[in-house]
Chains A and B, each alone.
Chain A
């Protein structure tokens, strides 16, 4: 039912199965193409037999800008998952896991220290999924999201910055066990 391959721009005309789902954000064209331009091998899709996109992952390999080199929040060379989504009809088949593993492999190939991602603090399902794949909370980014996904009385929501160490991090220096106790401001995240 699914084929895995690198994203190509024409896929943007076949995103409806994923992006009409309310949990999937749709970005401006430049955002998708920025990833395709800079990190094409980290933008992977799963398609069904009619060419509809039923899952995709967008990621990047980078470090914080050099100007922050001596900041405690400086992020060394790492892979980042910007978006991962699977269409409702293709869930429970491990597609999200496979796409994530592909990005982790690309991170290893790129000699990254770890993979990180942001997830809403109340997105328990996603947090559980990432934990099952070896991710742990590294820090809490206060008020990272401009609106709350479940509580309309709140005008912001915290994010968990979750990480998984890659092969390069032999001593597991880039993860921590008490990440939930480490709170930072969105301005500390680059």
Chain B
């Protein structure tokens, strides 16, 4: 950031020692006195600027604003300012920048004006840097253009490309007026077109030539063209000999080639993709580039996809195979990664072949070339950790006959060929995963309806011939039985146990995951959204869910470094209400700094509704996240952007700008603010900022699209594309989204308004005027919140929120409308609009429904309540919002009565009566929730919880006793009680936290 971040700017050397030392000692009153004297003596306005700068350090508002006034005068004067003076003013109003003072309205244009007059000064670049640091793109673009014109024939090419880059950045920025946008975009394109033409038409470019030389310059051209040019311009230039993708690739530059393929794919230009891939791969074979420069799987996949879409598919695919065969001949020289890529390319190409080529004789045996190719691949790579992920997409495309052959013939053959026990076990684990995977694939079901099971199981499973739907329960049971047997076999075999550390992955982990996820499916767990009104406990078979958790928890002890398993368990424990234990599992993963934005939602999303007590730890729970955003987004410019400018990394500039925008509008950022505020409010703590005034929400408006970037990449996912990924089954509700983030933001704005307390000493001199302004402001905010909330809540038939959230936001929308009516209905009206009573009766009715949802009278019901903490928390929040809203209106009325004894400013009597009734309804909801937590605490305080949890986990006389025995055998005796104790302790922690909140 600018130098003033480290203190005031140095004064000119010509300034006398006395003033210099007073200034450096920050002895502001002396500085003011001395500077005034010097100004009177020398008539140099610089001394006036020193005086203004010193005055701005004093407490009085007029003095503080003197620099702002001086800047404004300079702007109006049209004179070229003095740079030292500008530095002083910039320091003087540093605290106002970005808030009361926009850099682009004063200091930026003044710096641009100075540069125009002093373009050859080395300080001109500093001015550019300063404008960029304040993200004043208009002034920065002006400065860059001046520099470019001044140094047009210089060998420092950066001036030209700074100017173009900034012209482009401005053209896509909200800082650009609509009228100028087209001009700037055309300017950027034309300048680059000219440079591109010069490059194409010159034998050799010198550094002083205004053509495109470096990879960064060339890629900048294409980025701009992609944004502002036409498809035809782009596709034509990308084929040119010098500046085309292949021309650049010949120089070892791969970036443009990759970006061109993405652009062409977006436009569906498959012929061009085909040609580019063929040419690029051939360059490697010919030795023009290093052989494997573009031998990436994505290139092969695009090549094969493009071939399969060609007019003459056979010829195109034959060419793909031809190129691939040449690479296969080079395979021995290749790095293992490229060998693997080539094997996968072979597999991928096989799957792109027309079905007539694949099975010309219509052989029903199932051993088709596709199966054979999967077999060949697995034969080479089955031991690798990623083998399952590598083939699963292809397995999902197989017919049932092919799948059957793969499982019954191919895998046993691979296993049989290896004399080693460990290899056989790895293949068995692979088989378990594949079998589970296939329960999520529709080709394993016969379309012909089975008899007896009705709508619930309308198909027949082709594996087991039983009535089924996806997933087939009979098959899941068999998977559990087989995997458990293999697991036990490993555990009992010392030779195998000794071999495990040498393997890529412990096969017991794969088996445990297959068993665990099968149990979860059998328990009845469903992806969120398929039944929006569900209560987890009512819908599932608790014993199977608990068995799955127990088994996976035991497995984590054996393989503690497996993050996929750990993440799975974190989600499961949150689902079960064991937030403190989930936190214990979460912490060792070390999610910190940069990766928090993508990974924190996996633990922190909705955490305040599960366990506000967690926020009362030794270190504030959300502090690392808050610190990350505050530090990273503290400046208006993208972090490190000047580094990219000074290094001439033009594509980096564009990408960093894009990333910065996304980070400032991240759903995780909003989640961080809202979760913290909700928890703080729970305990009656002080919230530092209104959410609207928080520096981190400065770039968020009603129409801002907030982005969810949650990274689920580390989840172990055994599901196929036909089934939702596993995290969808485990979440408390739909993931982060733009809609939910805006709803939570608006709700916080509303609560800020209700809970606003004016500073104590605030006594306006004209109370009536102040009250009128307060009223106008409050009505404006209420209108906005009410209208936006209502629009959002009613915008979609199925919002990505939980039912409890839906109730909460709907009631907030009704409340804000009701409060608005109360405040805006003059007392002189005969009565408030009828809408008010309609609104309040809807709210009261919803409150009544909320009250009927609490019951914690038995062990089962206590556990069920623990899986419904989120709904309970939202019920509490709703009750409190009702109380606050009604209280707000009643207090408003009291204040008005106190201020204006005539009673004319008071609110309408009927409105007051409605609010009193609402307040009572809110109090009842909150009271019920409080009592509910009290009962839960009482219930959990009773003895015998270990036995109770184990009874729920392993109930006697259940039809699924086989599973219970299998799980118990794997987990081992002592583990169960230890696990049950952890669950019980965590529940107690969570409920203790709830009992301690403000009611």
Contacts and interface: CB of A to CB of B under 8 A. Distances in A.
B641 A27 contact: no
B647 A92 contact: no
B336 A29 contact: no
A14 B595 CA distance: 8
B153 interface: no
Contacts of A36: 640, 644, 649, 652, 655-656
A1 B593 contact: no
B341 A2 contact: yes
Interface string A28-59: 11101110111111000010111110000000
Contacts of B714: 16-17, 20, 52
B592 A26 contact: yes
Question: Most A CB atoms within 10 A — which of B216, B504, B590, B658?
Answer: B590
B713 A38 contact: no
A123 B258 CA distance: 36
A19 interface: yes
A12 B296 CA distance: 21
Contact of B713 (A22, A52, A95, A97): A52
A81 interface: no
A38 B590 contact: no
Contacts of A3: 296-299
Contact of A1 (B335, B344, B639): B344
A101 to B, nearest CB: 9
B821 to A, nearest CB: 44
B63 to A, nearest CB: 36
B197 interface: no
B593 A94 contact: no
B258 A33 contact: no
A16 B594 contact: no
B649 A94 contact: no
Interface stretch (B384-392, B777-785, B894-902, B975-983): B384-392
A170 interface: no
A173 interface: no
Contacts of A38: 643-644, 647, 649
Contacts of A52: 713-714
B336 A26 contact: no
A157 B655 CA distance: 37
Contact of B594 (A22, A28, A39, A91): A28
A88 interface: yes
Given A13-B598, A89-B385, A26 B647 contact: no
B556 to A, nearest CB: 14
Contacts of A26: 590, 592-595
A122 B582 CA distance: 33
A92 B651 CA distance: 33
Contacts of A37: 640-641, 643-644, 647, 649, 652-653, 656
A41 to B, nearest CB: 7
Contacts of A22: 561, 590
B605 interface: no
A4 to B, nearest CB: 6
Nearest to A106: B252
A29 B386 contact: no
Contacts of A91: 385, 504
Interface size on B, as a range, is: 35 or more
B641 to A, nearest CB: 7
Interface in A123-140: none
Nearest to B385: A89
A93 B337 contact: yes
A6 interface: yes
A17 B709 CA distance: 15
A5 B366 CA distance: 38
Given A20-B714, A36-B656, A1 B386 contact: yes
Nearest to B290: A105
Contacts, number: 161
A52 B386 CA distance: 13
Given A20-B589, A20-B591, A2 B297 contact: yes
B336 A40 contact: no
Nearest to B393: A49
Interface string A73-113: 00000000000000011111111011000000000000000
Given A20-B714, A48-B386, A98-B337, A12 B594 contact: yes
Given A14-B711, A97-B335, A40 B649 contact: yes
Contacts of A49: 297-298, 301, 389, 393
Contacts of B662: 10
A9 interface: yes
Interface string A153-169: 00000000000000000
A40 B390 CA distance: 30
B215 interface: yes
A1 B640 contact: no
A185 to B, nearest CB: 28
B463 to A, nearest CB: 28
B337 A95 contact: yes
A27 B335 contact: no
Given A28-B593, A37-B647, A50-B713, A9 B659 contact: yes
10 contacts: A1-B341, A2-B296, A10-B659, A16-B598, A33-B640, A38-B647, A49-B301, A89-B386, A91-B504, A97-B335
Interface of A: 1-6, 8-10, 12-17, 19-22, 26-30, 32-34, 36-41, 46, 48-52, 88-95, 97-98
Given A36-B649, A37-B640, A93-B336, 19 more contacts: A1-B297, A12-B594, A12-B659, A16-B563, A16-B598, A20-B595, A20-B599, A28-B628, A29-B632, A29-B639, A30-B640, A37-B652, A49-B389, A89-B504, A90-B385, A92-B336, A92-B504, A93-B384, A98-B337
Interface of B: 215-216, 254-255, 258, 296-299, 301, 335-337, 340-341, 344, 384-386, 389-390, 393, 504, 561, 563, 589-595, 597-599, 628, 631-632, 638-641, 643-644, 647, 649, 651-653, 655-656, 658-659, 662-663, 709, 711, 713-714
Shortest 10 CB-CB contacts between residues of A and residues of B? A9-B659, A37-B644, A37-B643, A3-B296, A52-B713, A13-B598, A89-B385, A16-B714, A33-B640, A94-B335
